[in-house]
Structure 1
Amino acid sequence: MNIMLAANITPFLHGGADYHIQGTADALRNAGCKVEILRLPFTFQPEQSILDLMQWCNKLNLNHPNGYRVDRLISLQFPCYGIEHNHHTAWIMHQHRAVYELYSPQNSSPALAQLKDAIIEYDHYALSHCTQRFANSKRVAARLYQYNDLKAQPLYHPPPAYQAFHHAQDLGYIFCPSRIETLKRQDLLIKALALAPKSLPIVIAGTGGQADNLMRLCEQLNLTARVKMLGAISEAEKIAYYAHATAVFFAPFDEDYGYITHEAMLSGKPVISCSDSGGPLEFIEHLNTGWIVEPTPEAIATVLEWISQHRNKVEQMGLAAQQAWPSFKISWNNVLSQLLEN
């Protein structure tokens, strides 16, 4: 079977989407499919560049490019959903968040308001004409129904190298791996640490646009001795830090899916998250495999203090998380059975 995967590439901005795209391609190839990846250059500004890309997708037909038959088009990101194909499967990572759940009329320009209307119309038409619709999580499916009145089936996939994650001796720190950006809310953890003098130290891994601001916040709160910022680390280092952590902090705002929840559970570590964190809440059971608290420094500080005083119970929660993960039945075999069903 000849399959075309369609997605975006945003220069020098890399993250979970890249793993999702490559993981899907690898799984399809391992199943005997011939796979080509089409990645469209995407820029957030100016708004006209997005409109131009939408129009280009609308004019692109991938049934027989250069005379070669494409049996199935699987589009993973906006605006690839508008590409024409007779068997088009959309597997939605997320929509263009700036005009959906992150849109604020008070803080938006007229150009963004105009783009919002155009994208909602585009998404509704393009996605309603797809042969199949899947979403990365229940949260992504719920947004699609809320804003576009369209249904999609949640379809979970495993994180990269998921078999490598493992549990090891707790060395007494809270691990926080993620891109350091506003929506990931590492600042909540730092502010909570300032309110929790008995907390274990914090280890933060990752880079991003808010890294300098986070370092300044640590300095302002006199926390530099209690917070270790690793910057970019290798996959092997990441796996080791997970294995030896006491617990993992992952409390983004309205996350689509989030590999970190799964990586922590596979490593036998409970996850601290927040009530508005979106995708991670589909997997965390409060007080059994982690904590789901209000997104305030005070609420998180209470958990941090509790963790430092109940290490044995935290260990038990982590093992409960590790034992719970197989019940989600997340595998590439399951993904392919659904993507290639019809």
Structure 2
Amino acid sequence: MRIAITTTQVPFIKGGAEIMVEGLEKALIKHGHETEIISIPFRFNRNEVWKAMEMWDAQSFETFECGRIDRVICLKFPSFYLKSENKYVWLMHQHRSVYELFGTPYGEPSDDSIALTLKSEITKRDTISLSEAKKVFTISKRVSDRLKQFNGVNSIPLYQPPKLANSLRTGDQLPYIYFPSRLETLKRQELLIRSIQYMKSPCVIVISGDGGQWQYLNSLVTELGVSSRVKMLGRVNDDELIRWYSNSLGIFFGPYEEDYGFITLEAMLSAKPIITCNDSGGPLEFVIDGETGYITEPLAEAVAEAVDKLYFNRSKAKEMGFNGLQRYRDLRIDWDNVVEQLLSNH
């Protein structure tokens, strides 16, 4: 087949979305398909969002000079606005600031008339465009639930493996909790750092990644006087990432309303227990409280208690880690399954 993958991007930013695009392209090529990624820069201010919607809405993918495209797989808002009789959607997430983040500190204000107009227009166009697709998949049950709630659109959750799925391994149980992620407000590194004040154990916190919260989080560490117990690594390479995962006591991943969360899967593949929060979204599809990790309130005291449980009962922590590894295997999360589902005509 000749397959187009459509998406948007913020130049020089590489996170889970970009890894997903690259992984899908490689998997399709591996299965013998001619594949092209078609991506356009995206800006988050309101006027630019309107422009992006209009631009994608005007695109017809029925035919190009190259001839017919057999299947178009749309991944990100608003690329699924394009027109094609062979349009399929594998949705990462919608424009979150007008959906589940609307009226919260993370999204558009609910008392702003322009924001309300934008929300109404995006909801209407999303519903129409997604309903035009031959089939709609999402990256998680959480995203499917939102799609049903806000747009009345049915969809099929389809999990993808992390990039390092074949490289992650388990190692020692050293006394640190690891949190690799972009340093952004929604990821809530602050919650883990503040939990140190309430820990009974001498556990160390190791955080890797870069982002907009770098300066604030470093200042917070200094302000709380916990510099001896927090390592801020910045960006690490894949080999370093694997080592930090493999030798940790456990992984913290407690974002707010995460869509999916590769970190959860990477922790499972490293046979490490995961501490997450009851409002973290995607991770809750994988973490079973007391069996593969702990689900806590998004409070520093509750996170500290979970860390202490891992520290003072290492055998239980190890058991939960291997339970998570087995759960990952049972879910059959691999690219062969992704390709099979996306290209099925049933």
- Normalising by the residue count of structure 1, what TM-score does the alignment of the two structures yield? 0.97
Task: Provide the rounded CA distance (Å) in 2 between the counterparts of 1:42 and 1:130.
Answer: 22
Q: Which runs of 5+ in 2 are unaligned?
A: none
- How far apart are residue 49 of structure 1 and its match? 1.3
Are 2:311 and 1:308 equivalent residues in the alignment?
A: yes
Given that 1:174 and 1:245 are in contact with CA atoms closer than 8 Å, whether structure 2 keeps it comes out as yes
Amino acid at match of 2:203: L
Query: Superposition pairs for residues 132-281 of structure 1, below 5 Å?
Result: 132-281=135-284
Bigger Cα displacement from structure 2, 49-58 vs 149-158: 49-58
Residues 199, 304 of structure 1: 8 Å contact kept: no
Shift of the alpha carbon at 1:108? Answer: 5.7
2:37 partner letter = I
How do 1:108-119 residues align onto structure 2 when only pairs under 5 Å count?
109-119=112-122
The DSSP-based 3-state class of the residue aligned with 1:292 is strand
CA distance in 2, matches of 1:304, 1:167: 19
For residues 273-331 of structure 1, the C-alpha deviation after alignment (integer angstroms, 9 at most, x for no partner) is: 00010001101111111001111111111112222211222112112211221011111
1:2-58: CA deviation from partner (whole Å, max 9, x where unpaired): 00000001123321000000000000000000001100110001x121111111111
What amino acid is the match of 1:124? T
The residue number in structure 2 matching 1:18 is 18
Q: Distance in 1 between matches of 2:174 and 2:275?
A: 18
User: Counterpart of 1:99 in structure 2: which amino acid?
Assistant: V
AA paired with 1:96? H
Instruction: Kindly provide the amino acid, as one letter, of the partner of residue 44 in structure 1.
Output: F
Secondary structure at the aligned position of 2:327 is classed as helix
Partner of 2:293: 290
Gaps of 5+ in 1: none
Deviates more, 1:287-296 or 1:101-110: 101-110
**Alpha-carbon shift at residue 110 of structure 1 (Å):** 3.2
Distance 2:145 2:305 in 1: 31
- Contact kept in structure 2, 1:199 and 1:307, CA below 8 Å: no
Q: 1:96 maps to which residue?
A: 95
Name which of 118, 123, 141 aligns with 1:120.
123
Root-mean-square deviation (CA, aligned residues, Å) is 1.2
1:61 corresponds in structure 2 to: 60
In the alignment, which residue of structure 2 is the partner of 1:5? 5
* Correspondence for 1:72: 71
Structure 1 residues 2-11 or 109-118, which shifts more? 109-118
TM-score scaled by length of structure 2? 0.96
Partner of 2:233: helix, strand, or coil? strand
Distance 1:14 1:115 in 2: 27
Matched, 1:43 2:46: no
1:33 maps to: 33
Following superposition, the deviation at residue 197 of structure 1 comes to 4.1
